[in-house]
Structure 1
Amino acid sequence: MARDVSMEKESMTSEALNAPVTAQRRVRDDLEDYIPKPYMSRALVAPDTSHPHGTRGHRHNNLTVLQQHCAFFDQDGDGIIYPWETYMGMRALGFNIVASVIMAIGIALAMSYPTQPNWFPSLLFPIYIHNVHRIKHGSDSGTYDTEGRYVAANLENIFSKYAKTKPEHLTLGEIWEMTEGNRDAFDPYGWWSGGILYILARDGEGFLSKEAVRRCYDGSLFEYCAKVQAGVHSKTT
């Protein structure tokens, strides 16, 4: 009986004595107390322990969570994102002209061709939302699976592993540590994407909250930030 208990404990442990990194980057073992089947890939919503049903009021429109993340930049809703639409989206989020141009060009060059419905590239560099699962970048946490669905357990693991200064919040240094822990070789876009999110959504104390990260995954963060920016502009004009 004692041996059975010992074996059960070993089978459930997430730390190995001869791998100190497993103790330094701990994972939560209580997620099922908050989220039903946290390990299951979810197609339409992005839950966490505080929001087990995803973002209240956010419409998924039968898009995957990854498609929802991208759909904000589809300014005319035709399922295709052109570089000028990415530029307008970045401006709506509050990025300046130079940064918006650079990001629009970089995103188009990196992501357009893999989403094309045929072998012939388009000089307009469109990104087809229908195929955005093909451009899921590396150096990430695996919160999106390869089909663009959302895995809640992997979002929670980001914060259990790397949020050392303040629970459920990341500093810029902790984001860098996370990137170092997950990065793939020759994947510069994946390396700096976390920094862009930090610039966009950090709070007044310089922290990036889990709620901001979660809402980035389903795109509702972009909608919120755009409304805030529109409110700021309306007050100053």
Structure 2
Amino acid sequence: MDEKARANENASRDSMATVAEKAPVTAQRKVRADLETKLPKPYLPRALAAPDTDNVNGTWSHKHENMSVLQQHVAFFDQDNDGIIYPWDTYKALHIEDLSIFNVYSTAAVFWLSSAYNRSNMSSGLRAIGFNAIASFFMAILIHGAMSYVTLPTWIPSPFLPIYVVNIHKAKHGSDSTTYDTEGRYIPANLENIFSKYARTVADKLTLKELWHMTEANRNAFDFVGWCLSKFEWGVLYVLAKDSEGFLSKEAVRRCFDGSLFEYCAKMQKGAAAAGKMG
């Protein structure tokens, strides 16, 4: 091999390198280089589905209704399907369906507000959290107070604190995993890289400690609100969906992104309630 060919080979190898020797963090937080062999165009943002290497077409039987993946994430809370989520819609979803939404402030607040939260084991290891009426009311007001204004179609605030599903992408905050892009599309590669970077114990699952490390690594400079929101969202998801061994699975995270996790939990809660009445 002549010198020019060797130089071209080295340049080609370097152009695809994912680790830089003088940046140890690039070796500590590895990204996957094999995604294209398992998932078509993994770096292409998906508007309608949330696929991963195990579910190349997204969640089976989940209907996207031509909404973006981020819109699907919140659509469960649009109880009357009018495209607007009011505080009472969120309250019903929190209290009646025994679910919790992830876009509020701190994990500590969840435990303080819950006073007593119910955990019901499900066939896949997912859990649903049931908040009492006072907690649900407080959280609904907090959520809408934080998110409503940026989604409004006008500059004039609304006293009813509605969240417009069509504009939910405007409520995206910093210091997140960037699995959603700024238009609400879903980027499969970023989901996969969450686990390649931070899952040290089990390849496709996160411990609470690993989850904490991820949120620390994702922090943007001076983004104090984003830091808090990110830790809260992932903390509540961990409580909601961890398995009996304390792991948060990639499947649970993926289904949270497209909202099918909420639908699943609601069905399980209804089934458990029906069985209880029959019993």
Q: What whole-Å deviation, never above 9, does each CA across 1:168-207 have from its counterpart, x for those lacking one?
A: 1011111111110112322222231101111111111111
- Structure 1 stretches lacking a partner, 5+ long: none
CA distance in 2, matches of 1:206, 1:194: 14
CA distance in 2, matches of 1:233, 1:173: 34
Q: TM-score scaled by structure 1? A: 0.96
Residue 217 of structure 1 corresponds to which residue in structure 2? 257
Pick aligned residue for 2:239 from 194, 199, 222: 199
Residue 186 of structure 1 corresponds to which residue in structure 2? 224
Report the number of matched residues.
Answer: 237
1:61 and 2:96 correspond: no
Pick aligned residue for 2:47 from 21, 39, 43: 43
Q: How does 1:102-121 map to 2 (within 5 A)?
A: 102-121=138-157
Q: What whole-Å deviation, never above 9, does each CA across 1:145-175 have from its counterpart, x for those lacking one?
A: 0000011110001000001111110111111
Q: Which moved more, 1:98-107 or 1:165-174?
A: 98-107
**Structure 2 letter corresponding to 1:121:** P
- Structure 2 stretches lacking a partner, 5+ long: 100-128
**Structure 1 letter corresponding to 2:16:** M
Query: Once the 2 structures are TM-superposed, how far is the Cα of residue 60 of structure 1 from its aligned partner?
Result: 0.4
Check the 8 A contact 1:183/1:191 in 2, yes or no.
no
Instruction: Please state whether the residue corresponding to 1:42 is helix, strand or coil.
Output: coil
Query: Whose radius of gyration is greater, 1 or 2?
Result: 2
Pick aligned residue for 1:149 from 180, 185, 189: 185
Q: Which moved more, 1:38-47 or 1:180-189?
A: 180-189
Instruction: Please state whether the residue corresponding to 2:130 is helix, strand or coil.
Output: coil
Residue 274 of structure 2 corresponds to which residue in structure 1? 234
C-alpha RMSD of the superposition: 1.2
1:21 and 2:57 correspond: no
Query: Once the 2 structures are TM-superposed, how far is the Cα of residue 144 of structure 1 from its aligned partner?
Result: 0.3
**Structure 1 letter corresponding to 2:269:** Q
Pick aligned residue for 1:81 from 73, 82, 85: 85
Structure 1's consecutive aligned runs of 4 or more residues displaced over 3 angstroms after TM superposition are none
Query: Once the 2 structures are TM-superposed, how far is the Cα of residue 5 of structure 1 from its aligned partner?
Result: 1.6
CA distance in 2, matches of 1:24, 1:234: 48
Structure 1 residues 211, 158: closer, same or farther in 2, change over 3 A? same
Q: Which moved more, 1:73-82 or 1:83-92?
A: 83-92
1:95 and 2:130 correspond: yes
CA distance in 1, matches of 2:78, 2:193: 30
Query: Once the 2 structures are TM-superposed, how far is the Cα of residue 99 of structure 1 from its aligned partner?
Result: 4.1
**Structure 2 letter corresponding to 1:15:** V
**Structure 2 letter corresponding to 1:199:** V
CA distance in 1, matches of 2:22, 2:244: 40
Q: Which moved more, 1:79-88 or 1:149-158?
A: 79-88
